[in-house]
Amino acid sequence: MTLGPLMLDVAGTELTAEDRELIAHPSVGGVILFTRNCATPEQVKQLIDDIHAAHDPHVLVAVDQEGGRVQRFRDGFTRLPPLACLGALYDTDRARAKHLAHTMGWLMAAEMRAVGVDISFAPVLDLDYGVSKIIGNRALHRHPESVAELAHAYQSGMHEAGMAATGKHFPGHGAVEADSHLDLPIDPRLYEDIAQWDMVPFERMVHYGLAAVMMAHIVYSSVDANPAGFSRFWIKAVLRDQLGFQGLVLSDDLSMEGAAYAGNHVERAGLSLEAGCDMVLVCNDRENAVAVAESLEGYSNPVSHTRMSRMHGHAAPGLHELQQEPRWEQAVAAAQRCEEMPELDLE
């Protein structure tokens, strides 16, 4: 059996018989976890062990553990500051900000690898234009070169902890006000403007060895009528051919309102894969996750399977062992100092 193109979720802190059966489906290649799946670190580790046992080869286990308001695992884990703290520090002390970015990338990834998580969907590479409420302080900075520099340091820290990085949301989510969870945002800017600003961090990070990219549920109306995650132009012509990206391409959650443009969930998954995504996400909708899994039975893409396999995390110490390391203690203290800096407005 190989890894299928579907990533889905599970309901609770333990697997049900239905969960196990669905994870074993050949169309499934990943499970994404949320706050509801975390009670304690020990429980999360057991849950992930059970997820891995349900499919051979092991499916990918993912989470959004960016920091700030997007941190799914909290109890028993370090509270991480929003990435905007790195950008704010960068404006006054570039070297210190890059060092802290490396530290935060390592700390986040080390704690996730300690319980078995393969992927944390980070870092955010969107620019902070000051208009997007859903991005906001998740963004590293306003300027593309600054985002790229900080993201490179953050990725290096993740790599040291045994985790590959995922840049999101290509080609850039920061310039639209609408939340793609609730609506389909329209970005009317010209391609040249997007390329000169929003795409720069992605281009630089591809050069730095970025392993995965998550697409945006946004229509860039002056460029293509399709949302980026359903667009052969954005995925194949730009991301693959122009930028030379050879890693894993993921859709954003197909249950979001920004994906409704493409029809029902089965149609959304088919169009996304046809456009060039390697893996599609269906979250918080078991009925449609099952429908997508069944619709993709027999689907095979050996290149995508290889890309997914490269996202498995490397061997790492357990959380108790990690927390005995002086480096972990120093990183936790650095995270706390970052969030408590009085001059930083991170709201």
Q: Which residues are catalytic?
A: 181, 252
Q: Which residues of 230-248 are buried (b: 16+ CB within 10 A; e: fewer)?
A: bbebbbeebbbeebebebb
The token duo for 78 is 């370090």
Torsion of CA 271, 277, 279, 284, to 10 degrees: -50
In angstroms, the CA 347 to CA 345 distance is: 6
In angstroms, the CA 247 to CA 234 distance is: 15
Alpha helices in the chain (DSSP H): 17-23, 41-53, 84-90, 94-114, 144-160, 191-196, 199-207, 232, 265-275, 286-295, 302-309, 319-322, 326-340
Radius of gyration of the chain (CA): 19
In angstroms, the CA 111 to CA 104 distance is: 11
SS3 of residue 285 by DSSP? coil
Crossing angle of helices 144-160 and 94-114, in 10° steps, is 40
Residue 323 DSSP symbol: T
Identify the helix (H) or strand (E) that includes residue 55.
Answer: none
**Omega of the bond leading into 57 within 30 degrees of 0 (cis):** yes
